[in-house]
Amino acid sequence: MTVYEYRAGLEGVPATQSSISYVDGQKGILEYRGTAIEDLASQSNFLETAYLLIWGEFPDAAELASFEAEIYEHRRMKYRISDMMKSFPESGHPMDSLQACAAALGLFYSKRALDDPAYIRAAVVRLLAKVPTMVAAFQLIRKGHDPIRPRDDLSYAANFLYMLNEKEPDPFAAHIFDVCLTLHAEHTINASTFSAMVTASTLTDPYAVIASAVGTLAGPLHGGAAEEVILMLEEIGSVDHVPAYIEHCLEHRQKIMGFGHRVYKVKDPRASILQKLAEQMFDKFGQDKYYDIAIALEKTVAERLAGKGIYPNVDFYSGLVYRKLGIPTDMYTPVFAISRTAGWLAHWKEQLGENRIFRPTQIYTGMHQVPYIPVEER
């Protein structure tokens, strides 16, 4: 009998083969389909990047224009979905709303044709188009407002900010937001993508795939950390309190949010770009007192945990950018989900190409031959 070594959290265990993205965690390299994240952030845009991730090559001008047009055409939300959302408690977390709405979309498109490229394309378009609308709608509905319709004249990023904040965004702010979407779009086989792939491997529908990935992204060890970072900066309150906060975390074995990564043992390249984006936002729209605390935190963690490979991850600086964009704190993870939908869909499509159901093994640690004792005798 083969005995396999158990690795907690599947650390270092290859669970798939993929050509979608690449991470070198020692050198701090991230590539989407072979192109460096820095080049995509400075020269591409989210929809072009989404196309690249999903179809494996950059679109030409006509392909990009028709992809954008299809997405813009499908941005409106079904009124039954917004009616459903109106029945959700306003105090609920927007990630729970998104998970429910993504799954509910499957009710409208229940005829499945996973081997038909037209079906795949329609699902990709619908999900990329409707996820932002569903995220923004929850924000408006919980404020007692009616969701506003997407604006056909606004770009993907600008339209989301418009639907969320009920006013047209500054073009520079919309550009920065688009870069944030590009940065968060894909990251190899992280927890939510793995979840998407496991779900996809059962040949269920793509709405269930995205719903399960949303549920996984929500946790504070994954995408939910971005929200926790801002709550932590608020709790710290001033630069002077940083050393004591770090000592408290270390003493109580409490994770410092936005730090550490399974793969990166250097600063996450996306964190470096997000930090620069935050600085650009501060230069244009005014400073943020939490930035000084964040800088002090990064410096103190580097000194205090030197040699442990604990550096800022993608979730550390994103919230500082989002604050300046007027995005509420509990919307940071849904915004991450808008972007990561591209990566999840790329993996869904790749998984279907060479599918085998995920069914790993376990090492049983329980008992055998335990006699049954009737309840009245226990």
- Residues near ligand OAA (CB under 6 A) are 187, 190, 262-263, 313-314
Question: 255 is in the binding site of which of ligand OAA, ligand ACO, none (Cβ under 5 to 8 A by kind)?
Answer: ligand ACO
Pair of tokens at residue 240: 């002077």
Q: State the distance between the two ends of the chain, measured CA to CA, in whole angstroms.
A: 37
Residues 6+ apart with CB under 8 A from 197: 15, 16, 189, 347, 348, 351, 358
Q: Does 13 bind ligand ACO (CB under 6 A)?
A: no
Build a one-symbol-per-residue string for 188-207: x at contacts with ligand ACO by CB under 6 A, - elsewhere.
--x-----------------
Strand partners, 29: 24
| Residue 91 tokens, joined | 């105090």
Q: Which is nearer to ligand OAA, 125 or 131 (CB)?
A: 131
85/335 with CB nearer ligand OAA:
335
For residue 9, state whether it binds ligand ACO (rule: CB under 6 A). Answer: yes
Cross-strand partners of 21: 32
Closest by alpha carbon to 195, among 52, 305, 317, 343? 343
Q: Among residues 134 and 226, whose Cβ is nearest to ligand ACO?
A: 226
Q: How far is the CB of 178 from ligand ACO (least distance, A)?
A: 19
Burial 339-373 (b: 16+ CB within 10 A, else e): bbbbbbbbbbbbbbeeeeeeeeeeeeeeeeeeeee
Q: How far apart are CA 375 and CA 211, in angstroms?
A: 40
Instruction: Assign 227 to helix, strand or coil.
Output: helix
The C-alpha torsion from 114 through 118 and 124 to 125, rounded to 10°, is -150
By CB under 6 A, is residue 304 in contact with ligand ACO? no
In the shown chain, the binding pattern of residues 214 to 233 toward ligand ACO, with x for contact by CB under 6 A and - for none, equals -------xxx-x--------
What does 106 bind: ligand OAA, ligand ACO, none (CB cut-off 5 to 8 Å by kind)? none
Instruction: Give the residue, chosen from 258, 269, 319, 334, that forms a contact with ligand ACO under the rule CB under 6 A.
Output: 258
Residues 197, 217 contacting (CB under 8 angstroms):
no
Q: How far is the CB of 246 from ligand OAA (least distance, A)?
A: 22
Q: How far is the CB of 198 from ligand OAA (least distance, A)?
A: 15
Size of interface with ligand ACO, in residues (CB under 6 A): 19
Q: Least distance to ligand OAA from the beta carbon of 31, Å?
A: 14
Taking the least distance from each CB to ligand ACO, the nearer of 215 and 260 is: 260
Is residue 261 involved in binding ligand ACO (CB under 6 A)?
yes
28 binds ligand ACO (CB under 6 A): no
Interstrand relation of 21-24 and 29-32 (parallel, antiparallel or unpaired): antiparallel
Q: Measured from the CB of residue 213, what is the shortest distance to ligand OAA in angstroms?
A: 10
* SS3 label, residue 24: strand
User: Which residues make beta-bridge pairs with 23?
Assistant: 30
**Residues identified as active-site:** 261, 315
Site for ligand ACO in 87-146 (CB under 6 A): none
Least distance from C-beta 312 to ligand OAA, angstroms? 11
d(CA 161, CA 289): 23
**Residue whose entry in the numeric block shows the structure tokens 């400073």:** 287
Q: Which of 194, 245, 259, 311 is in the footprint of ligand ACO by CB under 6 A?
A: 259
Should residue 313 be labelled a site residue for ligand ACO when binding is judged by CB under 6 A? yes
Angle value at C-alpha 309, between 228 and 17, nearest 5 degrees:
85
Give the SS3 label for residue 36: strand
Among the listed residues 31, 205, 298, 315, the single contact to ligand ACO using CB under 6 A:
315
CA distance 6 to 141: 46
Contact residues: ligand ACO, CB under 6 A: 9, 190, 221-223, 225, 255-262, 308, 310, 313-315
